[in-house]
Amino acid sequence: MTFELRVYHANTGKMPQLLNRFRNHTIKIFPKHGIENVGYWIDDANPEDLIYVLKHVGDPATNWKNFGDDEEWKSAKAASEVNGRLVASIESKFMSATDFSEIR
């Protein structure tokens, strides 16, 4: 299994819309594409940053491609961005669990 740590830097004032998109759409679409939700957090030092961890079943690149091509996702993204993009930038790190990790 491959885990992924992602940080979304929301555009100023867009965090409520970003959280709404995740809550109502993104987390429900991920599993269709081999992407499991592990956890989501808001950075205490920068409340415009959404930090989350995913677990990939299969190849992460294939999972992301299939997710990006999903019509439900495209529709949800377009609807959420009628008043501008929600995310300024994204950071991503792929990780492998150690043999002593509680999550594998």
- Quick: pLDDT tens for 32-87: 999 999 999 999 999 999 999 999 999 999 999 999 999 999 999 999 999 999 99
Q: Phi and psi for 33 in degrees, rounded to 5? A: -120, 25
For residue 103, what pLDDT is reported?
81
Spatial separation of the C-alpha atoms in residues 89 and 62, rounded to whole Å: 21
With bands split at pLDDT 50, 70 and 90, how would you rate the model's confidence at 102? confident
For residue 1, what pLDDT is reported?
82
- Rg, Å, the chain Cα set: 14
Q: How much is the pTM?
A: 0.93
DSSP 15-31: HHHHHHHIIIIIHHHGG
Q: Taking 90 as the threshold, does the pLDDT of residue 104 lie above it?
A: no
Spatial separation of the C-alpha atoms in residues 26 and 73, rounded to whole Å: 7
- Quick: pLDDT tens for 22-32: 999 999 999 99
Domains and CATH numbers, the chain: 2-95 (3.30.70.100)
